[in-house]
Structure 1
Amino acid sequence: MGQRRWVFLLAVFAFLLSFSSGTDVLKLKSDDGQPLYNHTLTMTLVEYASAVYMSDLSELFNWTCKRCNGFTKGFEVIEIIFDVEHCLQAYVGVAKDLNAIIIAFRGTQQHSIQNWVSDLFWKQLDLNYPDMADAMVHHGFYTAYHNTTVRPAVLGAVQRAKKSYGPNINIMVTGHSMGGAMATFCGLDLVVNEGEEKVQVMTFGQPRVGNSAFASYYSLLVPNTFRITHDHDIVPHLPPYCNQFPQKTYHHFPTEVWVRDNFSNLISAEKVCDNTGEDPTCSRSVKGNSISDHLRYFGVELHCETWRQCSIVMSHEMDRFSKKDSKGNLIMSRTLPSTNGNKTDTLIENGDL
């Protein structure tokens, strides 16, 4: 019995070693200046990605929800954006322990994910990305970030946070599922259009968003990016990658980190994949056939608590922080102190957005 136990432990050790070789999760950058995967930061950001699914905006705004604990304790929300017209939700805030502005985007609602996955099987590239030759992207993902109330509210909150906490603060963008796709466009937007230099993107269960030309541009402009994929999660396999047309098909950008569950889900092993975005030894080595793997990363739930579509809960005490436009889209905004001790203006004043 004792010998079998030692064989089991040695097998576990060998498995973990094979998935962690060549990485040092305690370092943020390699010797040549390239970003390195950091497990502790990942465990923090997955909690931020989970919290954005909360429908009680009062608890989310005050960071008292049951998902607002653990590594994210003490986080200050600056702004919550709820776009009822397109069923989108995001928030912006400051994590003082990370010296970073956190931007989190909500993914697809759990009740509609079956239809959403079905649509992605047939989705074709359909939008030329501005000022990037040959780069094409998914129209729906692009529109969700660029052509809704989300983008101006997020960028405005980032600027207010920088005025209050200093221009050198880091920016970390995260999201799960479709929220990961929106996080991609947000990170690129911050670099290309806003001139930000300290931008890091980490997504969970993100679908492909563009072709290989877009992936190349993106990896060059936002190199500090990690896509976390979980075991047989179906969504990172969508829209499908076609080997016969590598330049025309959807193509992931690097760097993928593939998380596998083993030994009855008691152990998770993380493999940092190559710099192609389509490493055949990572998630592409298995069939993407699991929705349950998509909805849970590192034991953290990444979906809404209820099946209600695009609904929120908010106490009347929060009315002074919130404004709606004529379509019912909502922004909750907190006034921040400026660097000189005065109060900065919020994005919203009396009246509609």
Structure 2
Amino acid sequence: MRWLFALLTLTRLVVGIEYDEGLSRNKFFPLAAAAYSNKPEECLENKVIGTKVLGKYVAPCNLRKSDHCFSFIGVNHKDKALILSFRGSTTPEQIVHEVLDTIVKPEVQTFNDTKVGFYFYHAFDQMWNKDMKVDFERYQAKFRTYDIWVTGHSLGGAMASLCAATIAFDYPKASERVVLYTFGEPRVGDKKYADLLDNHIPNSFRVIHNRDVVVNIPIIHAGHFWHHNTAVFYKNDMQNATDYIECSGPDRDCTFKHMRFQTSIEDHLNYFGMRISDYGLNSCKPVAARTYGTPRNLTDMAN
């Protein structure tokens, strides 16, 4: 299997894949929001019609087992898509754990010689290896002609990134079907990790709302944390479907050009004019954007 992965690294020709704004706004955004609910099917019935939830997964996000992460696998036969969506951070305590683990604990070496953040790695690893991996293998084989849509917001975006990298590394034949759209994704791993995604998941976009503070965390450093491509910047309230900027250059160039003043918590919590967690909890029915406050506790086990 590893020889096939290496061969694809040498032979892949990355064509210019463009950001699909309608797909991002109307499909991936509600799919990411749905993960904030323990009953994502209610959200999908209202917004991504025809999507069936095949499995829901809960696992500790950290080795303390004090935080819990949630994800789901779904399928949409009309869109010919197998869907994997990951929930973002849900409590202030969880955010503190993420930050402390990232700052204090060394990155984890994975995918041969790449390094990723300690908290992100263990959050995804415990989720994936509990039941999700087995179900993914079964469904990706069953729907072998379907695209594989992977998404998430915030921590969920980091886990979605790791999911896409895992598919690229462990299931190289399936990697060409992966479509990765994340919202407010932090830096997950080092430059080698970013290169892994860039080389094998070309249909990959990190959507960024204006001055979202999380996208510039951890601080850029090629040997520690580096963003993968492609960044999509909405320097506005995201209401105009044509008003965005794509940046597919090195992370340092995109950061210095477009991400020098990433200081807004509100921009991180609100995407496409809605508080993403509220939107998911409200069955993907419209909700207004709102200012920063104590997030609702969403760590109840999935029903």
TM-score range, shorter chain: 0.7 to 0.9
Between Structure 1 and Structure 2, which shows a larger proportion of helix residues?
2
> What runs of 5+ residues in structure 1 fail to find an aligned partner?
1-31, 315-353
Question: Residue 12 of structure 1 corresponds to which residue in structure 2?
Answer: none
How far did 1:114 drift? 5.6
Match of 2:171 among 194, 204, 209: 194
Question: Residue 154 of structure 1 corresponds to which residue in structure 2?
Answer: 132
Question: Residue 251 of structure 1 corresponds to which residue in structure 2?
Answer: 226
Paired residue secondary structure (2:148):
strand
Question: Residue 274 of structure 2 corresponds to which residue in structure 1?
Answer: 300
What is the CA–CA distance in structure 2 between the aligned matches of 1:284 and 1:218, rounded to whole Å? 21
Question: Residue 214 of structure 1 corresponds to which residue in structure 2?
Answer: 193
Match of 1:97 among 78, 95, 99: 78
Post-superposition Cα deviations, 1:4-27, rounded to whole Å, max 9, x if no partner, equal xxxxxxxxxxxxxxxxxxxxxxxx
1:258-277 aligned within 5 A: 258-261=233-236, 267=240, 269-277=243-251
How far did 1:68 drift? 4.4
How far did 1:149 drift? 3.8
Q: Give yes or no for contact 2:152–2:183 (8 Å, CA) kept in 1.
A: yes
* Amino acid corresponding to residue 222 of structure 1 in structure 2: I
Query: Are residues 161 and 248 of structure 1, via their aligned partners in 2, closer, same or farther at CA, if it must alter by over 3 Å?
Result: closer
Pick which of 151-160 and 231-240 moved more: 151-160
What is the CA–CA distance in structure 2 between the aligned matches of 1:217 and 1:249, rounded to whole Å? 14
Paired residue secondary structure (2:19):
coil
TM-score by structure 1 length? 0.68
Question: Residue 292 of structure 2 corresponds to which residue in structure 1?
Answer: none
Match of 1:229 among 205, 208, 212: 208
Question: Residue 320 of structure 1 corresponds to which residue in structure 2?
Answer: none
How far did 1:218 drift? 2.1
* Amino acid corresponding to residue 137 of structure 2 in structure 1: Q
How far did 1:163 drift? 4.7
Question: Residue 89 of structure 2 corresponds to which residue in structure 1?
Answer: 108
Query: Are residues 237 and 217 of structure 1, via their aligned partners in 2, closer, same or farther at CA, if it must alter by over 3 Å?
Result: same
* Amino acid corresponding to residue 296 of structure 2 in structure 1: W
* Amino acid corresponding to residue 58 of structure 2 in structure 1: F
Are 1:289 and 2:263 an aligned pair?
Answer: yes
* Amino acid corresponding to residue 213 of structure 1 in structure 2: K
Question: Residue 58 of structure 2 corresponds to which residue in structure 1?
Answer: 82
Q: Give yes or no for contact 1:82–1:90 (8 Å, CA) kept in 2.
A: yes
What is the CA–CA distance in structure 2 between the aligned matches of 1:313 and 1:138, rounded to whole Å? 26
* Amino acid corresponding to residue 69 of structure 1 in structure 2: N
Question: Residue 183 of structure 1 corresponds to which residue in structure 2?
Answer: 160
Paired residue secondary structure (2:233):
strand
Paired residue secondary structure (1:293):
helix
Query: Are residues 204 and 282 of structure 1, via their aligned partners in 2, closer, same or farther at CA, if it must alter by over 3 Å?
Result: farther
Q: Give yes or no for contact 1:210–1:251 (8 Å, CA) kept in 2.
A: yes
RMSD: 2.6
What is the CA–CA distance in structure 2 between the aligned matches of 1:220 and 1:118, rounded to whole Å? 28
Pick which of 46-55 and 122-131 moved more: 122-131
Q: Give yes or no for contact 2:101–2:119 (8 Å, CA) kept in 1.
A: no
Q: Give yes or no for contact 2:91–2:297 (8 Å, CA) kept in 1.
A: no
Q: Give yes or no for contact 1:271–1:282 (8 Å, CA) kept in 2.
A: no
Q: Give yes or no for contact 2:37–2:298 (8 Å, CA) kept in 1.
A: no
Query: Are residues 200 and 267 of structure 1, via their aligned partners in 2, closer, same or farther at CA, if it must alter by over 3 Å?
Result: closer
Paired residue secondary structure (1:89):
strand
TM-score by structure 2 length? 0.78
How far did 1:99 drift? 0.6
